[in-house]
Amino acid sequence: MIVHRRIGVGVLALAFLVSGCYGPFRLTRKLHQWNGRVGDKWANEVVFIVLVWVPVYGLATLGDGLVFNSIEFWTGKNPIDSAKADSSNTRTKWIAHGEEKAKLTHLASSSGERFMIEQYKSGKKAESLRIQRVGNNTLAMNERGDVLFTAESSPDGSVVVKDADGKPMAYRSAQKD
């Protein structure tokens, strides 16, 4: 009987500690957003099924529900929310020519630098290009995260530009002309 009371008191204490911390589930949302950029709809579905089966989604939701959302409820800050910390390192410029405009955004964060180019025609967003450095490669991706081309730097300073399938398109030697 005493054991049941202790368990009951423990459950009530836990309920009190995590009460009201429904929260934004940032870890689960980031996992879901990443999953949506893996590839086409079939690749996204396969990765989703694996992540549910393994149970990565379940652990992310549990971590959000018990830890990260509770921290945000009590402190006002969510450890998963890094976008606010990186926002001060963002620069934006606009270029306009007639009805066409381009928004150039440079994002610098602890994870590296990214450039976004968003094209607008007649006030409506038309296309986007994201350029990001990953190791010795510079990736150019569309809005969905599909790689359009890469530029690979070699230790000697030469650069090879490859299409989305990895086929070389251009080469620039390290020698200065």
pLDDT in tens, 5-55: 666 655 545 554 544 556 788 888 888 888 888 777 777 787 788 778 878
- Give the mean pLDDT of 150-166: 83
Average pLDDT, the chain: 77
Q: Which of 33, 30, 25 is nearest to 70 (CA)?
A: 25
Categorize the per-residue pLDDT at 87 as very low, low, confident or very high, splitting at 50, 70 and 90.
Answer: very low
Instruction: Locate all alpha helices (DSSP H) within the chain, ordered by sequence.
Output: 2-18, 26-36, 41-53, 56-63, 69-75, 83-86
98 and 168 together in one domain? yes
121 in the same domain as 58: no
Does the pLDDT at position 1 exceed 70? no
> Are 143 and 88 contained in the same domain?
yes
Q: Which domain holds residue 73?
A: 2-81
Q: Are residues 57 and 96 in the same domain?
A: no
Mark whether 45 and 121 lie in a shared domain: no
Q: What is the pLDDT of residue 168?
A: 87
Count structural domains, the chain. 2
> Can you give the pLDDT at residue 10?
56
CA distances from 99 to 77, 119, 125, 143 (A): 42, 11, 12, 22
Band (67; pLDDT cuts 50, 70, 90)? confident
Of 10-14, 125-129, 140-144, the poorest mean pLDDT is in: 10-14
> Which of 46, 61, 81 is where one domain is finished?
81
Residue 45 is assigned to a structural domain of this protein:
yes
> Is residue 103's pLDDT more than 50?
yes
